[in-house]
Amino acid sequence: MQMRNNHVVIMAGGIGSRFWPMSTTQLPKQFVDILGIGKTLIQMTVDRFSTLCPKENLWVVTGERYVSTVKEQIPDIIEDHIIAEPVARGTAPCIAYACWKINSRYPQANIVFTPSDALVLDTEAFRNVIAGALEFTAEGERIVTVGIKPSRPETGYGYIEAGQPASSVLSGTVFKVNSFREKPDRKTAEYYISRDNYLWNAGIFVWNVRTIVSQLRKYIPETAKIMDEMAPSFFSDAEAEKAAELFPLCEKISIDYAVMEKSDCIYTHPADFGWSDLGTWGALKSLLPNDPHGNALARRGEDELGHVRVQTENIPTGGGNVKMFDCRDCIIHVPDTKDVVVQGLEGYIVAEHADRLLVCRLDHEQEITKYIK
């Protein structure tokens, strides 16, 4: 397998509504420097793949309203490699659009599809796993989904039930997938982590372009027909108009429902590289320093370009101050210019951004999307 055939597609169309009020439709979390390191989540994702594929083989699928943000944050990306969805139709049409476009110019492509907003702590281990998956999928009709070894009974993730070993690769063993499981309740999640063969579904997929095009033709043929009709416009001035006309006609469906749960060529590569989807305030809290009472404080400022920065030191940084009394297991996320007093809370999120304020129990954070509607 040659590296020049490797392509990476970053899915960056979500709005991260569970991270409200910091993540909004105007600037979703993938375009925010949540960790205060000078890079946004999508920029960190690009860096993660820098040794796995040439920079000219990088693609981003996003909503039309975020194209200029992608250009600003990833200035080296080829403009034709920013795929603008006229509407959100789920991950299956998103993947189909990107793969049909790649296949029209790069029919030998080996592709990694990845979310734009996850965090990986051990980049070297991550790269080894992806390299092993690319090696495995390049050899035949195989699809690999990366499975994260669970560290807790998480109810916010889907799970993969791994079956029999299928092959050894440089970074470990690839297993046949027995089934995909939806987000479980607490009791079911506890059962899953008591077993060795249940993994978190990270939403990272690896395949050869021929394989995924064939599978999409088989399982969502109507969407495949729409892609065939769109294909003559790819890389031309007519593409945006054709996409606006035809892409909304695609069935709204996830790749898990469309292909993963039906196909017989699905495998998983178990991995342990310090992964978090940073999908919730609780996930961020687990990454920040906690005081002796389990409280985490993130002080937020802005750099000279107006990009949000988060500072994790429990000190005033911009003239404001945060005082906490009788609080346990809370996360406080406020601008560094604000004076804030919090008293008597246990297990709460207190987050403020612009003219928006959230005070919510951490164990209700999965409901934030519903609350803000």
Q: Tell me the C-alpha distance between 190 and 8, whole Å.
A: 34
pLDDT bracket for residue 2 (50, 70, 90): low
pLDDT bracket for residue 312 (50, 70, 90): very low
Helix 41-48 to helix 123-137 angle (10° resolution) is: 60
Per-residue confidence (pLDDT) for residue 172, from 0 to 100: 82
pLDDT of residue 313 exceeding 70: no
Report how far apart, in Å, the C-alpha atoms of 224 and of each of 7, 61, 207, 231, 251 are: 21, 18, 17, 10, 10
Q: Tell me the C-alpha distance between 234 and 257, whole Å.
A: 27
Per-residue confidence (pLDDT) for residue 188, from 0 to 100: 96
- Give the rounded percent of residues in the chain with a pLDDT score beyond 90: 70
Per-residue confidence (pLDDT) for residue 337, from 0 to 100: 78
Per-residue confidence (pLDDT) for residue 140, from 0 to 100: 86
pLDDT bracket for residue 310 (50, 70, 90): very low
3-state helix, strand, coil in the chain (%, to 5): 35, 30, 35
Per-residue confidence (pLDDT) for residue 314, from 0 to 100: 40
pLDDT bracket for residue 299 (50, 70, 90): low
Q: Angle CA(285)–CA(288)–CA(292) in degrees, nearest 5?
A: 90
Residue type for position 313: E
For tokens 């909304």, the residue is 248
Q: Angle CA(241)–CA(108)–CA(234) in degrees, nearest 5?
A: 10
Reference 268, options 209, 206, 184, 191; nearest CA is 206
pLDDT bracket for residue 168 (50, 70, 90): confident
pLDDT of residue 225 exceeding 60: yes
Per-residue confidence (pLDDT) for residue 241, from 0 to 100: 96
Q: Tell me the C-alpha distance between 143 and 117, whole Å.
A: 22
pLDDT of residue 319 exceeding 70: no
Residue type for position 216: L
Average pLDDT score, the chain:
89
- Residue 145's H or E segment, with its range, is strand 143-148
Segment of 108-117, 296-305, 348-357 carrying the highest mean pLDDT: 108-117
Domains of the chain: 3-276 (3.90.550.10), 281-371 (no CATH)
- Residue 222's H or E segment, with its range, is helix 221-230
Residue pair 111/7 in contact by the 8 Å Cβ criterion: yes
Q: Tell me the C-alpha distance between 29 and 117, whole Å.
A: 7
What's the whole-number mean pLDDT along residues 292-306? 65
Q: Tell me the C-alpha distance between 360 and 348, whole Å.
A: 6
pLDDT of residue 329 exceeding 90: yes
Per-residue confidence (pLDDT) for residue 224, from 0 to 100: 98
What is the pairing mode between strands 339-343 and 159-169?
A: unpaired
Q: What's this model's pTM, rounded to 2 decimal places? A: 0.86
Cβ-Cβ contacts under 8 Å for 247 (sequence gap 6 or more): 85, 86, 87, 89, 93, 97, 226, 230
Reference 111, options 14, 236, 255; nearest CA is 255
What's the whole-number mean pLDDT along residues 235-256? 96
